[in-house]
Copies of this chain bind each other. A is one copy, B any other.
Amino acid sequence: MDSSQFRAAAHSAIDQIIGYYDTIEDRRVLSGVEPGYLKNLLPDGPPVDGEVWAEIQKDIESKIIPGITHWQSPNFLAFFPANSSYPGILGELYSAAFTSANFNWLCSPAATELETIVLDWLCKLLNLPECYLSTSPNGGGGVIQGSASEAIVTVVVTARDRYLKMLSAGAKTAEEKEEIIDAHRHKLVALFSDQAHSSTQKGCQIAGVKHRSIKVPGSPTSNYSLTGPLLRQKLEELNEQGLEPFYLTLTLGTTSTCAVDNFAEIIEVLKAYPQIWVHVDAAYAGAALICEEFQHLTAGFENFDSFDMNMHKWLLTNFDCSCLYVKERKNLFDALSITPAYLRNPFTSSGRVTDYRDWQIPLGRRFRALKIWFVMRTYGVFGLQHHVRNIISIGEHFASLIKSRPDLFTIIVPPAFALTVFVVNTVNGGGAEERNKLTKTVYESINEEGKIFITSGVVDDIYMIRVIGASSKTRKEHLERAFGIIVEMAEKVRGEKEEYKNADVGEVGEVQLRGL
């Protein structure tokens, strides 16, 4: 493909993409293909001789798009969103054009420096304390990771090594140091509430450390938020068991219900446990921090060690773009750099030159800062705030519609960050099991019908439906239409009592959310 063939191919691709976005609402939001559909459509191997673009492009519409679930459709009300945007796409285009491995500053200084700059911009926008800025006296800073889950593995490993280093600081020889570490490694335990995202559990599996979850009650006690007393109790329990807590994930916007942990209480409790690394997982809801009305939530964050939010969820920046901030980048280098301390470049240590390979698990990295830069400049701060506020107001409108039908629905926890979580009421006050069966049948029937795509979850043995619309195309009318679809299905299923009573309420919903 030469330059002029590329120009023609790219123009045609751009037209196809625009056409896709302009008609996305007309497509069935959840792909309806059967497992293995594509294998039947493609040959057993690549062609021996090359093909022209027109041949390849034809197959995108006929073979690929039928297998796409349309996350950018305003009828996508499932999981959390994964916002795309036109400036975000342009960012990916240039990133691909400037392809380089970017493992250190020299690989492409612009890739490193733009990342530091736009992450400092974002740090201020999110109202994070100054200690997370690259310019802070303590040596903090941000780095783009692929996902919030990758960020969590990174900080669990870093926390583990900071703790082991602290324990073995007094060792006089390398052997003695190793002995101390070997004697303690299996006692380390990471903590998180049972509402935290499953990626902390996975991060602990990878880091090879034990983990314990803290059960948090629902409405009206604490609405699935981790509290100070619950944390203190667990810490004392672990102490009695001879285990050594070294890490805690807190959540700003849990997956199931968008709960926010009680940061103020937790900060008080943790004063007695300075060895614990505290990470705030704000993967989805962190985006709301760009609006003043949510900025009170970051009070006291200077007491924590790291914070992560995904611009690729709700801030119009194409996946992947998870923004991780740490208070002391030195801890990352200690855990992840393979350059021995005595060989480290003084420029790197001083922060004059940043080698992001030492801030992450992989070595190479893409030039992802470009898309943040394009998105922030195209929308401006006002544009991004408008998007967040608009989505929240549409979410509140949807919640008020659900509330307007107390005969059909019960909202289990206060709606938050545009997420509404509810159950379907049984006709004559049936028990919890019957309500679960009914809710599950309604949920599954809606997705089977395919006009909208929603998710469910099981929390505290309650089977719940989750609805969240947060794409760039989401308007009030889309959620009104969704409400109509949900009402209609709920009424229909409630009328077919015998049918839903036979539903098998396994843990399907929970499993689906765990994967989110």
Contacts and interface: CB of A to CB of B under 8 A. Distances in A.
Interface stretch (A108-116, A293-301, A435-443, A481-489): A108-116
B101 A206 contact: no
A108 to B, nearest CB: 5
Nearest to A46: B376
Contact of A93 (B46, B64, B93, B100): B93
B206 A206 contact: yes
Interface in A17-64: 17-18, 20-22, 30-31, 33, 35-39, 42, 44-51, 53, 55-56, 60, 63-64
A322 to B, nearest CB: 9
B108 A79 contact: no
Contact of A109 (B37, B48, B98): B37
B97 A17 contact: yes
A335 B205 contact: yes
At the interface, is chain A mostly helix, strand, loop or mixed?
A: helix
A106 to B, nearest CB: 7
A516 B103 contact: yes
Contacts of A338: 198-199, 201-202, 205, 514
Interface stretch (A7-15, A245-253, A421-429): A7-15
Contacts of A149: 361-364
Contacts of A198: 338
Contacts of A153: 206, 361-362
Contact of A146 (B42, B96, B362, B376): B362
A126 to B, nearest CB: 12
A3 B17 CA distance: 10
B15 A7 contact: yes
Given A69-B100, A149-B362, A35 B353 contact: yes
Nearest to A85: B1
A72 interface: yes
A46 B84 contact: no
A104 B515 contact: yes
A147 B17 contact: no
A94 B1 contact: no
A202 B336 contact: yes
Given A38-B110, A352-B36, A86 B9 contact: yes
Nearest to A383: B50
Given A49-B383, A100-B319, 12 more contacts: A6-B18, A9-B90, A17-B93, A35-B105, A48-B382, A50-B379, A53-B87, A56-B378, A68-B98, A68-B110, A343-B507, A343-B511
Closest 3 CB pairs of A and B: A67-B110, A84-B99, A46-B376
Interface of A: 1, 3, 5-7, 9-11, 13-15, 17-18, 20-22, 30-31, 33, 35-39, 42, 44-51, 53, 55-56, 60, 63-69, 71-72, 79, 82-90, 92-101, 103-111, 113-114, 116-118, 121, 124-125, 146-150, 153, 157, 160-161, 181-182, 185-186, 198-199, 201-202, 205-209, 312, 318-320, 335-336, 338-339, 343, 345, 347, 352-353, 355, 357, 361-366, 370, 373-374, 376-383, 507, 511, 514-516
20 contacts: A11-B14, A35-B347, A38-B109, A38-B110, A46-B125, A51-B378, A60-B94, A67-B109, A67-B111, A68-B98, A71-B99, A82-B364, A89-B97, A150-B361, A153-B361, A206-B336, A319-B364, A319-B366, A320-B365, A339-B514
